Amino acid sequence: MDDTTSSTFLPWSELTGLLPGYRLDQEPVSTTNMSRVYLAVDTRLHHRKVAIKIMADYLASHAGYRKRFLREIQLMAGLEHPNIAYIITAASEEDRLLYFVMPRAEADLRTRLKAGPLDLSETAHTVGQIAAALDHAHDHGVLHRDVKPGNILFGAGGHVYLSDFGVAKTRSGEDLTAVGETIGTRRYTAMEVFNGETTAPEPRTAGLLTPATAVERAGDVYSLGAVLYHCLTGRRPFDELDDIAAEAAQRDGGAPRVTESRPDLPETLDTVVAKAMHLDPAARYHTCEALASDLNRAIGRSGVGPVPASRGTTVTALGASDDTPPTVASSGRTAVSAPRRIGMIATMVAAVVVAFTAGLFVPDRDADGASGAETPTDPASSESPAAPDESAPPPVTGDEQVERYPMEGECLMEAEDYTVVACDSPEADEYVFKIVTDPEDPNPSQPDHDDAAWLACGGEGFDYHYYWRDSAIAVGREWDPETDRIYYFICYRNL
């Protein structure tokens, strides 16, 4: 229930004086205990339609909540990604009024779902784009912790954006939520996140950009699985239960079955949702893209882009049938040719500008493993890759040194062959932050796959290296851009 009062927020007349250049609607489009969102027009920029999120006045004077709001601004400004809502301008630390301005969206997912479930294609499209946004945040050490339909926005052409990083946490930074405070939204948030039970992050080398581990990502994976269920059924998970019973069902580890509400849908969707919403964080998908990939396979949709491999499938996905060693390439920002990189960036910027023509609006805060990566096949075969083995090797700990293919979040020692060691081992030299199977290849003319690696491993913003294997190396011949394909990239950073 909304228990805010008019004294909680500055009156509209005072806001207009503090926000010159913006013509605000007289009534907010949404209100919570912490903030309000007004639709407005930027009178200085061709009357562009925007949304302005304003913090409650009484909280703006509270050091802890003020710090949290400013951190949200910092995170959204720093996480540059086509599927993450961006900030046009914002308050500074010294301002009395804390606010930020965003483009306005056409709609949010919660509103769309009031009309019923999405069709399978739109569901896959929506989940896939949010998965890309979440994995980007995770790769930069940011956990969202409140993924739900109200925080998923639609721009022009159906482009999807993740918004509201108000309770987000950086894996290396301070958790600004209060002790005992619930985090996220019941039914969508995993219990270990909702009650603040998430395990403390593992220590990493100082100064290194530290992607979230699979266990740390697991809370957002759970939430994305809950959103998937809602998209497929038109109902929230455990919607038939009251709040207390729903929480009990989540704690008991039960995952709602899609086919109970939608018997017309394939039962494989039950498996995807059950894995995403598993009670044990370690048993969930290890990346959000892995969930999106299995979703597309479950509905028979192909051509969905790269799929990061994760624990439980990586050994099968990367296990070659011959003894040819994988090729190693040293890459980074300088490894991609400048003209090509600039062209790719220009294309991305143009796409973002077009997508944001209609803008984004921030709706109110409602009260409400295995990736299945495909196994590379012989290049002479036209058959689809076989399904991966679900077995997973045990984690490497202590002084162990294990010769095998690595998995995301593991570390390698400097050696001729893949040798996995514990990341806190003095022998650890390389941190594997991403594995991409069947990656997109924007420039097949490159036998060293620089542009493809740039696209798969993260592009601008940090130095990275990669190993790869392709169908030409597998049989010991030269790369043919017309017929050959890349099997995988193993993206890593030096420790």
Q: Average pLDDT over the chain, rounded to whole?
A: 76
Residue 227 confidence (pLDDT): 98
**Which pTM was predicted?**
0.60
pLDDT band at 320, cuts 50/70/90?
A: very low
7-13: long-range contacts, CB 8 A cutoff, minimum separation 24: 8/33, 8/56, 8/57, 8/58, 9/36, 9/54, 9/56, 9/57, 10/54, 10/57, 10/97
Pick the CATH number of 1-103 from 3.40.50.450, 3.30.200.20, 3.40.50.720, 3.30.2010.10: 3.30.200.20
Q: Please state the separation of Cα 290 from the chain's center in Å.
A: 11
Least confident of 7-11, 154-158, 206-210, 447-451: 206-210
- For residue 63, give every residue at least 6 positions away whose Cβ sits within 8 Å of its Cβ, in sequence order, or none: none
- Please tell me which residue in 108, 135, 146, 470 is annotated as part of the active site: 146
Q: What six digits make up the tokens of 87?
A: 């900030």
The four Cα atoms 484, 486, 487, 490 give a dihedral, to 10 degrees, of: 160
For the chain, the residue count is: 495
Report the C-alpha gap between 392 and 405 in whole angstroms.
12
Range 197-224 average pLDDT = 70
- Distance between CA 360 and CA 51 in Å, rounded? 7
> Whole-angstrom Cα distance, residue 225 to residue 288?
9
Instruction: Return the pLDDT at 476.
Output: 76
- The pLDDT value recorded for residue 46 is 86
363 pLDDT higher than 50: no
Note the pLDDT tens digit of each residue in 458-491: 755 567 888 888 888 767 788 888 888 888 888 8
User: Is 366 among the catalytic positions?
Assistant: no
Domain ranges in the chain are 1-103, 104-304, 327-494
Token pair 């009357």 is at which residue? 47
Task: Indicate the pLDDT class of residue 353, thresholds 50, 70 and 90.
Answer: very low
- For 436, the enclosing helix (H) or strand (E) is strand 428-437
CATH 1.10.510.10 fits 104-304, yes or no: yes
